[in-house]
Structure formats: structure tokens, C-alpha cells
Amino acid sequence: MSLPNPCWFLALVAPVLGMAEVSKDPPGRIAVYLGVEQQASAQSLDQMKREVETLLSPAGIRVDWRFIEQGRNAEVDHSHLYVLRMRGNCTTERIHLLFSELGPYGDVIALGSASTVDHQIQPFGRLECDPLRRSLAASLRGESPNKRDAVFGKVLGRVMAHELFHMMTGQTKHSDHGLFQSSQKVRDLATRSFSFTPAEQRALRVAVQ
């Protein structure tokens, strides 16, 4: 999906990129910079990162995690650099008070997107936390805070991995099945097992060589 205005990306990363020249990564290493718009649960963030690492590791890819705010005074030491903005409330606090007309787990909704300019995918995208909160609200009612955060983070990680595949490979055509198909039900993202296909893993390896 195309984002209408990529200016936020330049505003976020320009202070970082202005600090030092970008050096070439060792094979298989990427940097992911996260921008949190409102707030995010530490446990959900940790689960999200673990899920992304699990999905990318079969392709031999290691992820260095950074936050935009932390990177403003640091050197940029990655040539494979991707930025994702987490929009909305990325916590499960008070999620039991939300009401979703879609019912438990909701339906197919937009949870992430990668920006394009002139039909070319750019190395930045966004995750949409508010619709995910609404969609998961009914199913997580009655669960412990730890369980809620774990499920929320797992789904975010799967959405992020999907968008990173777009950004890393430049591919716009989706698969017919699996993690890189064009749409998923939140119910499936929360409960099913997912992985990239062998062909998709090869494409990821090529992208970071």
C-alpha cells in the first residue's frame, strides 16, 4: 500500500543519517528503526522483535533494533536500514473496554503498509495499532496482562515481517498463501503458524548480500 506522504521518514532519519557515513553491513545484518507514535508495551515490543527474528532467521538474517530517538546521536553502521512507525496506542491497557463491531478477532483489516514512490517500494512503513486493538479486544477479554501483551506483540511481529519483506526485496506481488499473501485474518495471525517459503527466504538472502 502506498503512503501518501513520505516526509515523516525524512524528518525521522535525517538527524541520524547526518551524523556519519553509512558503512556496509556484514552479510545478513539489517537495522530496523522503530518510531513509537504514542506508547507501546515493553513486553509487546519484546515479543514483536522475537517474532520478526524467528521469521527472518531461516534466511540467515539478523536484526539490530534501534529507536529513532536513541539513534539521533549515534553513528549509522548499516547500509540495510529500515524504518517503521508504530501508529496509535500499541498497548493492551484497557483493551477490555473496547468494542469491535467485527466481533472476536475481527475481519481482514489493514494493520501495516510499506510506502511507495513512483511504484518503487521505499525502506519505510508503518504498523497500525489501533485497529489491531479493536480487533483483538473481544478475544483477549479475561486474559492476563502478560497473555494479552504476548498475543499483541506476536501479531505485530508478523505484520512487521510482511512489510519488511516488501521493503527488503522490493516485491509488490503477493503470494497465494502464507505470511506474504495479500491479506490475513487477525484470528489467523494470532493463532496459526507462519513462515516464509523457501523461495521467499532466498529472495531475502539475496536482498541483504
What is the domain-level CATH number for residue 90?
3.40.390
Return the pLDDT at 78. 66
- Residue 92 belongs to a domain: yes
Q: Is residue 114 part of a domain?
A: yes
Domain presence at residue 150: yes
CA distances from 33 to 30, 66, 113, 142 (A): 10, 5, 15, 33
Question: What pLDDT, on a 0 to 100 scale, did the predictor assign at position 97?
Answer: 52
The pLDDT of residue 164? 96
Domain enclosing residue 97, as ranges: 7-207
Per-residue pLDDT of the chain (209 residues; tens, 9 = 90+): 333 344 444 444 444 444 434 445 456 899 999 998 888 889 999 999 999 999 999 999 999 999 887 655 455 556 789 999 999 999 888 765 554 444 444 455 678 988 889 888 999 999 999 888 888 887 888 889 899 899 999 999 999 999 999 999 999 888 888 899 888 888 888 889 999 999 999 999 999 88
Note the pLDDT of residue 76. 55
Beta-strand relationship, 29-36 and 89-90: unpaired
CA dist., res. 147 & res. 158, Å (int): 17
Per-residue pLDDT, 16: 46
What CA–CA distance (Å, rounded) separates 33 from 116? Answer: 18
Q: Can you give the pTM of this predicted structure? A: 0.81
In a domain, 159, yes or no: yes
pLDDT tens digit sequence for 180-193: 988 888 888 888 99
Residue 1 lies in a domain: no
| pLDDT tens-place string over residues 117-141 | 988 899 999 999 988 888 888 788 8
CA distance 33 to 66: 5
In b/e form, how buried is each residue of 110-127, taking b as 16+ CB within 10 angstroms?
ebbbbbbeeeebbbbbbb
Tally of domains within the chain: 1
Residue 2 lies in a domain: no
Backbone angles phi, psi at 202, to 5 degrees: -65, -40
Predicted local confidence at residue 91, as pLDDT = 87
Answer whether 108's CB lies under 8 Å from 57's CB.
Answer: no
